Amino acid sequence: MADDLKYTKDIAALIQEATSLTVVSAFLKSKGLTSSAGTWNDMINKRLIPAVQDGHLTNEGLIGLLRSVEECGRQHVFLYFCSKARASELMDRKRVGQVAAKLGVADLLTAAKATSKPAQPELVDVRWDTAAVDLSLTIKAVEIREYQKYIGTRPYGNELHKIYSRVQERCVNLAKLHRNGLLEIRVAAHSNSTKYDADIRRFWHQIGAFLPSGDFKESSLSVAKDRLWGERAELSEKIRYTDSTIRNEAGNVLRGAAGGDKSDLVSDEAVSKSLDFLLEHDDAAYCEGANIWFKETVGLSTDVHVLLGGEVNEFALPASCTAEDYQYVLDQLRSLNRRVS
């Protein structure tokens, strides 16, 4: 049976919002399909829809592309954990199916919803990543945020009035529970705020029937932050440091910052040693935050910017990245977060 072309158009519209023509062209090229398009109209109507009509591409394949471009990057990630046994119970397909049916979203277990601008936050995807066993459970939601954007001034008599436009932004939030008990809560980055407490509470409420918040504890990244600075010489081949912040028991803060994103704080010995001095002479001092770049290498398609700060279990990726790049960063941070005896 031919795929639903209306669904194809809906998915394509969301892909347009989430990524670039270059990324979609590369996706088509990887499938051995005609990939050139000068505009989004041509890409959708002359490339994607005909490919689905001819059976060379499926809506499921397009959903896979959409997931890869909207679920990683431009987000703040909060890490939690539960026991492996509890994770297995929460991921159980029968249980998840019962919860989904009770919430009226059982259809999401077989097909993701291509929702652009829901009036209220809406669940759009519930799925498992599977090999011989279910490796993880992902629950995704979409919401619309509205904020004011300054666009200029306008004369009004002897006055100048500031003009703002109302901007609506489609935001994707998701939870990913791994069978080892690790839970990632990924919240779309705000354009005008650094606080995510309300977002986390609202998202937990939305997914609580699937993943009760009381079953999880925060997974602190404090060890990773300390090791990132303390082992910077050993890590210098794969990490560039834009800035680092040290806080002592009295709450006093010392921050070292490089001159720009392309600079490396580690190369400035005087600034680095001033941060080390506080750590060495105050047993209660610790690395509170870091602004770093993982350098392009095998497994990483480009330099990836990562911020560590805010909540103890939080890190952020300010720019879009591939799913592979995201996984690389997560794996590196979790490896650094293991204590070394």
- What is the average pLDDT value for the chain, to the nearest integer? 90
With 60 as the cut, is the pLDDT of residue 140 above it? yes
Q: Comparing C-alpha atoms, which of 174, 178, 175 is closest to residue 86?
A: 178
Are 327 and 253 in a shared domain?
yes
Are 149 and 267 in a shared domain?
no
Q: In this predicted structure, what is the pLDDT of residue 33?
A: 93
Return the exposure string of 181-211: e unless at least 16 CB atoms fall within 10 Å of the residue's CB, then b.
bbbbbbbbbeeeeeebeebbeebbebbeebb
CB-based contacts of 129: which residues, under 8 Å, 6+ apart? 135, 136, 138
Residue located via tokens 């600079």: 263
Could you tell me whether strands 286-294 and 159-178 are parallel, antiparallel, or unpaired per DSSP bridges? unpaired
Are 200 and 134 in a shared domain?
yes
Longest dimension (CA), the chain: 73
Are 111 and 149 in a shared domain?
yes
% of the chain surpassing 70 pLDDT? 99
Q: Which helix (H) or strand (E) holds 19?
A: none
Are 328 and 233 in a shared domain?
yes
Taking the whole predicted model, whether its pTM rises above 0.95 is answered as: no
Are 248 and 171 in a shared domain?
no
DSSP string, 233-253: HHHTTTEEEEEEEEE-TT--E
Last residue of a domain, one of 14, 43, 70: 70
Range from 95-109, 168-182, 262-276 carrying the lowest mean pLDDT: 262-276
| Burial grade of 10 (CB within 10 A; 0-12, 13-18, 19 or more) | middle
pLDDT tens figures, 235-245: 989 999 888 88
Are 197 and 65 in a shared domain?
no
Q: Give 1's pLDDT tier (boundaries 50, 70, 90).
A: very low
Last residue of a domain, one of 17, 35, 70: 70
CB-based contacts of 207: which residues, under 8 Å, 6+ apart? 123, 139, 141, 175
Are 78 and 214 in a shared domain?
yes
Range from 25-29, 35-39, 110-114, 165-169 carrying the lowest mean pLDDT: 165-169
pLDDT tens figures, 23-59: 899 899 999 999 999 999 999 999 999 999 999 999 9
Q: How many CA atoms lie within 13 A of 5 on its CB side?
A: 12
Are 80 and 189 in a shared domain?
yes
302 part of a folded domain: yes
Last residue of a domain, one of 46, 70, 94: 70
pLDDT tens figures, 278-293: 788 777 777 788 889 9
CB-based contacts of 171: which residues, under 8 Å, 6+ apart? 142, 143, 144, 145, 188
Q: Give 340's pLDDT tier (boundaries 50, 70, 90).
A: low
User: How many domains does the chain divide into?
Assistant: 3
Are 98 and 200 in a shared domain?
yes
Which domain covers residue 231, as residue numbers? 222-336
pLDDT tens figures, 199-258: 999 999 999 999 999 999 999 999 999 899 889 889 989 999 888 888 887 888 888 777
